[in-house]
Amino acid sequence: MDEGERTNKHSEPLLRQEMVIPTFLHLPKTGGSTLLSILHDNLLPTVSAAPPQAGDDGGETRTGGELLFFGMPPFLFQLRSSLERLKDRTQYLGGHIGLADIQMIEHLDPEFHFVPFTLLREPNERLLSFKAYLDDLAGGGGGGASQQRSLAEFLDSMLPNSMYRLLAPLGSNISDEQTTLQRIKEALVNDFAVVGLTERFDETLMLLKRKGILHDSSYTRHKVLDGRPKFSDLSAEERRMITRHNYLDQELYQFASDLFGAIIKKQDASFQRELSEFQNAQKLRAGEQRSCEDDSALFGAWACDPEVRKATFEKRKETLQRIHEARHPQALLIQQLLETQFRRRYW
C-alpha cells in the first residue's frame, strides 16, 4: 500500500470531544508563528449568559477556548500542570513541544488525548532562516551585522537534525538512527492529523480546515526577515557543512513531502476550488494590509519594523537586567543549577 492510500486514526474530521486537544508541534522557522496566530484567531469566544426571562433562570455562560502556548520547550511538569489547570478550556496546544512530550502526558493522564499536526520545511533553507533570525536577535532586533556568527560557529552551537529530535516518539533511542527514523515515519502516517509543508502553506491550511481543526484560515505572515542568503548562494564547503548537520532531517523532509503530495492527490475536486477561492481572498487581503504582521504579546511581541523591534528588545533587556539585579542570590544559584543540569533537546 503506498502512502497516498494509507489512512490514520485522524483521517476523519476532528470531533470536538472533551479533552481532545489539537496540538501544533512547532519547529522554528517553518511558518509556525503565522500558524499560531491563525490558531489564536480561531479560538471560541466567551459567550455571556443570556439575561433571565420570565419563568427561567437565564442561559449559561460559555467560557471561550484557550491556546496553551510554549515559546520554549517546556519541562514535563510545566506542561502537565498547565494542562491540568486549564482542563477542557484548552482548545489548542502549541509551541516548541516534542512528540514524546505529549505521548508521555497521555501515558500519565489517559484523560488527555492529543491530535498532533506540524509544519516541515526544506531543512537547509530552514537552518539558514533560523541563523538569520538568531543573528537578528543577537543584534538587538535591528539586524546588527556585527553580532552575526560565522556559519561554522552557528552550527557548532546547534544540535543537529532538529526535526528528527522533535518528532522522535516516546521511548526512542535517538542514537539508533534507522530505528528512530522508521518510528517517526510511522508516526507521521498513523498519528498525525496533518503533516504540512511550509512551501505548500495554503494547501496545509485547507487540510487543517477539512480536519475540523481550523474554521477561518486567513492570515498575514509573521516574523518575515528579508535579505538572508539562500542555500544555493553558499560556497560548496558551506553547503557540505549544512547537509552534514541536517542529513536525517533531509530524509524525513523527503518522506513528508512525498506523503503530502499523495494526500493532496486524494482530495476531491472541491479541494482545488476551495484552495483557489482562498488564495484569491488572500490576494485581496494582502492588498489591504501590510505584508508582515507583528506578533501579539502572547507570542513574544516580535515587530516587523526593525527600529520598533530594536526598541522593544532594548526595553526588554533593561527590564530583565533590573529583575536579575533584584533577585536573591539563592534564586540565581538555583537558576544556574537548572541551566547546567537540563540540556537542550531539539536544537
Contact 99, 116 (CB under 8 A): yes
Structural domain includes residue 139: yes
Structural domain includes residue 27: yes
Distance CA 86, CA 48 (A): 19
Residue 9 has pLDDT above 50, yes or no: yes
Residue 104 has pLDDT above 50, yes or no: yes
Return the amino acid letter for 318. E
Grid cell digits, residue 344: 537542550
Distance CA 198, CA 8 (A): 22
Residue 151 has pLDDT above 80, yes or no: yes
**3 confidence band (pLDDT: 50, 70, 90):** very low
User: Who has greater pLDDT, 116 or 44?
Assistant: 116
CATH number of the domain within which 315 lies: 3.40.50
In degrees, to the nearest 5, what angle opens at C-alpha 81 toward C-alphas 75 and 82?
Answer: 90
Structural domain includes residue 327: yes
- 209-241 b/e (C-beta count within 10 Å ≥ 16 → b): bbbbbbeebebbbbbeeeeeeebeebeeebeeb
Other Cβ atoms within 10 Å of 9 Cβ, number: 10
Q: What pLDDT was estimated at residue 204?
A: 98
Reported as type and span, the H/E element at residue 195 is strand 194-197
**Number of domains within the chain:** 1
Contact 129, 196 (CB under 8 A): no
Q: What pLDDT was estimated at residue 53?
A: 60
* Percent of the chain as helix, strand, coil, to the nearest 5: 55, 10, 35
Distance CA 20, CA 34 (A): 23
**343 confidence band (pLDDT: 50, 70, 90):** low
Please provide the average confidence, as pLDDT, over all residues in the chain: 86
Other Cβ atoms within 10 Å of 31 Cβ, number: 23
Q: What pLDDT was estimated at residue 87?
A: 84
Grid cell digits, residue 93: 496546544
- The percentage of the chain sitting over the pLDDT mark of 70, rounded to a whole number, equals 82
- What phi and psi values does residue 320 have, to the nearest 5 degrees? -65, -35
Q: In this predicted model, what pLDDT tens digit does every residue of 284-307 receive, in sequence order? A: 887 767 778 888 888 877 888 888
Structural domain includes residue 314: yes
What is the extent of the structural domain holding 208? 3-160+171-341
Structural domain includes residue 317: yes
User: Who has greater pLDDT, 112 or 10?
Assistant: 112
Residue 225 has pLDDT above 90, yes or no: no
Structural domain includes residue 199: yes
- Distances in Å between the alpha carbon of 194 and those of 41, 57, 270? 19, 43, 19
Residue 333 has pLDDT above 80, yes or no: no
Q: What pLDDT was estimated at residue 223?
A: 84
Structural domain includes residue 20: yes
Structural domain includes residue 347: no
User: Who has greater pLDDT, 318 or 31?
Assistant: 31
